[in-house]
Structure 1
């Protein structure tokens, strides 16, 4: 993931949220504010203030070159839970093709010591049943429940999904 990927990453992130979070997150946010919100986030993350602990992976459509999936993680983000997969998104038209699994595996492969010996975790909204089923199929442990940072002004229940050994994701090839 490179600084010039920010606009495409932001657009895909907004598209993904509009698809996955409709009926969960306020419609006004999804319909009006999500694009500008994601543009600001990704400009900061990739262009203005990139983290030295960040790693990102993208998947582009082989025919069009269009961004169709990405993962963004922060190595060693938490002393207990390890690396945080802060974002994992696949374009709705490309779901069900194994791209999400490939992206999580790319993150796991990118972890070098000492991070490869730490857990890998992410947060999933409690109401996002398809994502919860996906993470469960990949062996995630639903470790704890919390409240999210606000989405469009509304905090929502979420679960921490953890892979205590990230290498287990590579067994799902």
Structure 2
């Protein structure tokens, strides 16, 4: 496995990971009609317009250079005075979960944030998601909850915070 910075040329592969993982990770949590309507083409359009120059996106590649996961982060978006950075997304193809890929991507994001002077982090996760354990394992603490309205449905989401990313449970930032 290799972790590297992503670029707009990776948009198609990132879109595939995003759609595939949403359909597996959120089945039974998010409305099936919405999940079934997700398309690679629509997600790719969004990733082609993504501000790679303003945010940090890393991809994980398998041994044949196929992208199997990604993470995206940047400045915190809700003007929360407690947190400077935000993890916008982290998704790993189902076949590669629980094999260290997510931790490697998370560590890459933490290093990048630290190198740019951002030393605190927040992320939002669906409260019903079993993947919240990943954030807790890595030292994130639940700090806030709210409703997210999407496609006519409302979902409870929980913010996880790291007031100091240097103490995140990923072996430290080096």
| TM-score bucket of the superposed structures, by smaller chain | 0.7 to 0.9
Residue number in structure 2 paired with 1:105? 107
Q: 2:162 matched to 1:159?
A: no
How many residue pairs get aligned? The number is: 164
Residue number in structure 2 paired with 1:137? 137
Compare the two structures and name the one with the higher helix fraction.
Answer: 1
Shifted more, 162-171 versus 134-143: the winner is 162-171
Residue number in structure 2 paired with 1:56? 57
Q: Cα RMSD over matched residues?
A: 1.8
The offset of 1:40, in angstroms, is: 2.9
* SS class of match (2:71): strand
Runs of 4+ in 1 over 4 A off after TM superposition: none
Distance in 1 between residues matched to 2:87 and 2:97, nearest whole Å: 18
* SS class of match (1:17): helix
1:30-69 equivalences in 2 (<5 Å): 30-45=35-50, 50=51, 52-62=53-63, 64-69=64-69
1:67-78 equivalences in 2 (<5 Å): 67-77=67-77, 78=79
TM-score w.r.t. structure 2 length?
0.86
Contact 1:16 1:90 (8 Å CA) reproduced: yes
TM-score w.r.t. structure 1 length?
0.86
Distance in 2 between residues matched to 1:37 and 1:127, nearest whole Å: 26
Any unmatched runs of 5+ in structure 1? Answer: none
Contact 1:149 1:156 (8 Å CA) reproduced: yes
Distance in 1 between residues matched to 2:19 and 2:116, nearest whole Å: 33
Residue number in structure 2 paired with 1:21? 26
